[in-house]
Amino acid sequence: MDIITWSDEYSVGVSELDNQHKKIIALINELNASREISSRSEKLHNILGRIIIYAQNHLDYEENLLRKNAYPDFENHLRKHQDYKLKVSDFAVDILEYREDLPEKLLNYLNRWWMDHILKEDMQYKPFFEEKGIT
């Protein structure tokens, strides 16, 4: 899988969210660089743990910003985040069971989910924040 390179097309117009998205992409790229490692690898568990924690903090931050500003589609956006959290939790449990096919499946899921989420879901709030002058 190719390394994801940040581009302005990923920008949601809120610098803190963009910086957090860049960090998530960097963590996914780190996982991508290590994808040949075994599901038993401490390095894999470390990267996965960092992704889970950082993404959780990011999603909490984003949800608070959306809630605080009364984003009209907040509930739908929140559901997408909850679905992601459940899926990643499932991956974490499976990795602890040392399923060898999981690193590649996890990487594919993270790549797809984050790119789709930023480019589709998060872009929906971009005009909302622009209108409110939140950058």
Digit-coded pLDDT (tens) for 98-133: 666 777 888 899 999 999 999 999 999 999 999 999
- Which helix (H) or strand (E) is 117 found in, with range? none
The confidence score (pLDDT) of residue 83 equals 96
What's the pTM value of the predicted model, to 2 decimals? Answer: 0.90
Under 8 Å CB-to-CB from 90, ≥6 apart: which residues? none
Digit-coded pLDDT (tens) for 35-52: 666 666 777 778 888 998
Domains and CATH numbers, the chain: 12-132 (1.20.120.50)
Residue 55's SS3 state is helix
